Chain A
Amino acid sequence: MGSYVLRRLLQMIPVIIGATFLIFAMVFGIGDPAAGRCGERACPEAFLVQFRQEYNLDEPLIVQYGLYMAKLLTGDFGESFSGLSVAEELINRWPTTIRLAVIAVCFEALVGIAAGILAALRKGRFLDYLVTLSSLLVISIPVFVVGSLSQLVFGIRLGIFPVTATEGGWFDLLLPGLVLGSFSVAYIARLMRSTMIENLRSDYVRTARAKGLGPGRTVGVHTLRNSMIPAITYIGYDLGALMGGAVVTERIFNINGIGGFLFYGINTKDGTIVVGTVTCLVLVYLLANLLVDVLYGVLDPRISHD
């Protein structure tokens, strides 16, 4: 187990280096690194001089990268054109986005898994068709459409939820959280249903029945444990991916989280914000992946006990 974790950690290092280098190279290696840093206008000369110095643009690319990474690791994500410290802004905005992601993940886990299990157990009956068809429909609606429409219906027409969530309280974030999790909830329901159906037909479930175990143990212990592995793994990845996906939801509901910050950066053409936020989100995503891989090893002994 220990060696498995270590191996995963070591395998992750080149990926992290590669991914950050990729982003770095796109920003600094191709084209004009100072483009799109200063809003709609061209950058003033003084800014360019300072910019070249700050990012060591006179050094070779690889040295630039090293110095850039060293900055990132010390938490220096640069300053926006309007003088905001990107790192500080990110730290201030994390709690909101995390709250949003937590709501989404809880929604996915509870509703998605439950729906998938029920559909598998009632395979071929009404409930199964209900889950299968509704998840098919939900998976087809892009999150920004779900967001805009539910804002229209629940926020504006019915008035159940606040139309925007600028304050970022738990209740304010409830509707945006459900919206953010909508794709995954449907995906997990489908995933859970198909793994569950497959496992219910497995030899070891037949063995469980041959052991004289009741349906509670056969399904609850012998089928569920195995069937949860893909869904839990997916939720783990999603926790990382959701933070990025939040840019859409936060734009629609006007939320002051990380995603809202990224959208602000895009809108005001502030490259430091865009690059810093994207890098940060990719790192979070990779970290979540690493945790999931470790978790996967814990859940499935076949992976880690070799």
Chain B
Amino acid sequence: MSTELIASRQNDVIEEFALFDEWMDKYEHLIELGKDVPAIDAGRKTDDHLIKGCQSRVWLAADEGEGGTVHFSADSDAIITKGLVGLMVRVLSGADAKAIAEADLHFLDAIGLHQHLSPTRSNGLASMVQQMRLYAAALAARRA
């Protein structure tokens, strides 16, 4: 079920961004998302949860939910990164651990923001996705 959940959430994001043709409009939306995104609990915005990008910093917290699901919350000191981090949480959070570990994340590509996952951006997003998958994979392995 969770694989479909992740796929349908990705499609929602793709549809939402399809409204914007212009690069800058897309970013305007991303910035709005970044301002709205529920940030990580202040108490968890600690070095333990910090993923250091070269340019922007990302904090990620992961919790085990019911039935082998994983709940994420995340934050960043840069608004655009925060918007991207929020999208990633929206797509993956609450899904089944195994589905997260194996998820085919194509939505950033589809909405033309894939460059933010490139190592040259050094914004912490790629490392965050890796952390999410690692956490999920470890949980899935424990439950297997």
Do A and B actually bind?
no
Task: Give chain B's interface residues, CB within 8 Å of chain A.
Answer: none
